């Protein structure tokens, strides 16, 4: 995913504070292209909420209509809190975790967020190529626009950002390393447990944990060292 190809479109936002909050969230996740349709004047609240993302607000493109904003992109994603069924295909959205697969397309992609009080109009939804919705409690399914932007952008960028969290790159453990890790653990269990059913249970449990967990290569190497040294100490103690 190339973040430079994405743009966030805020359609007629009422509050400058929301514009500032959205800009800050965009910068948190590495997105910079903001399009504002008939925005309010950005005052102290908007500047305060933007924090260190004020440059995104200042460089945002301002347009007069949704049609003008949509014309800036090759592909438009609409956001909605209202879902339909098969009979209403315009209200049959994907979920945030499915959005990145739905956006396997070339060109510029705009993600449009509607007005704080009533969202996108039906005629604006008609112009969208796909809809996305955030599943929330049915009693109050509408999220604040800044919260919605945060969830969508997190879903789009979590794999890339997770790999470099804190400025450090994490390499997931490979198949060979995983096999060595399980082998060292099995050797330790065989040296520790006398009852076969207890040993088998411990081995199966650890395999399930490893299968569910995201383990980095460094973590696997550390665990292998622990298991190897523990096994060596047990062997040494048994030979005395």
Query: To the nearest whole percent, how much of the chain has pLDDT over 70?
Result: 82
Quick one: pLDDT band at residue 94, thresholds 50, 70, 90?
Answer: confident
State yes or no: pLDDT of 237 exceeds 80.
Answer: yes
What architecture is domain 3-166? 3-Layer(aba) Sandwich (3.40)
- The pLDDT value recorded for residue 87 is 41
Contact assessment for residue 48 and residue 24, using Cβ atoms and an 8 Å cutoff: no
pLDDT of residue 171: 64
pLDDT of residue 175: 79
Q: pLDDT per residue over 207-232, tens digit each?
A: 888 777 667 888 888 999 999 999 99
Angle, CA of 170, 174 and 175, to the nearest 5°: 160
pLDDT (tens digit, 9 = 90+) per residue, 53-88? 999 999 999 999 999 999 999 889 999 886 654 444
Q: In this predicted structure, what is the pLDDT of residue 164?
A: 53
Mean pLDDT, rounded, for 113-123:
92
What pLDDT band is residue 135 in, cutting at 50, 70 and 90? confident
165 or 97, greater pLDDT: 97
User: Across residues 156-163, what is the average pLDDT?
Assistant: 64
**What percentage of residues in the chain have a pLDDT greater than 90?**
51
Enumerate the domain spans of the chain: 3-166, 175-239
Mean pLDDT of the chain: 85
pLDDT digits (tens, 9 = 90+) for 169-215: 556 667 788 888 999 999 999 999 989 999 999 998 998 887 776 67
- Rounded average pLDDT over 50-55: 96
């Amino acid at each position: 995913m190339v973040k430079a190809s994405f743009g966030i479109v805020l359609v007629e936002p009422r509050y400058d504070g929301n514009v500032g909050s959205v800009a800050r969230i965009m910068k948190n996740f590495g997105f910079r292209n903001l399009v504002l349709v008939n925005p309010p004047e950005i005052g102290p609240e908007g500047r305060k909420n933007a924090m260190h993302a004020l440059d995104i607000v200042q460089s945002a493109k301002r347009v007069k209509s949704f049609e003008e904003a949509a014309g800036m992109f090759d592909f438009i994603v609409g956001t909605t809190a209202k879902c339909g069924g098969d009979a209403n295909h315009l209200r049959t959205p994907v979920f945030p975790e499915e959005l990145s697969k739905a956006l396997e397309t070339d060109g510029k992609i705009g993600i449009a967020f509607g007005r704080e009080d009533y969202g996108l109009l039906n005629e604006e939804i008609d112009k969208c190529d796909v809809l996305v919705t955030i599943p929330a409690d049915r009693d109050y399914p509408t999220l604040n626009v800044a919260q919605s932007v945060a969830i969508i952008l997190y879903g789009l960028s979590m794999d890339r950002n997770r790999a470099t969290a804190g400025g450090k790159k994490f390499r997931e453990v490979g198949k060979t390393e995983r096999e060595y890790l399980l082998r060292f653990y099995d050797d330790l269990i065989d040296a520790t447990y006398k009852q076969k059913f207890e040993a088998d249970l411990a081995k199966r449990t650890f395999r399930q944990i490893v299968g569910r967990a995201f383990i980095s290569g460094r973590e696997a190497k550390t665990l292998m060292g622990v298991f190897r040294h523990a096994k060596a100490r047990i062997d040494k103690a048994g030979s005395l």
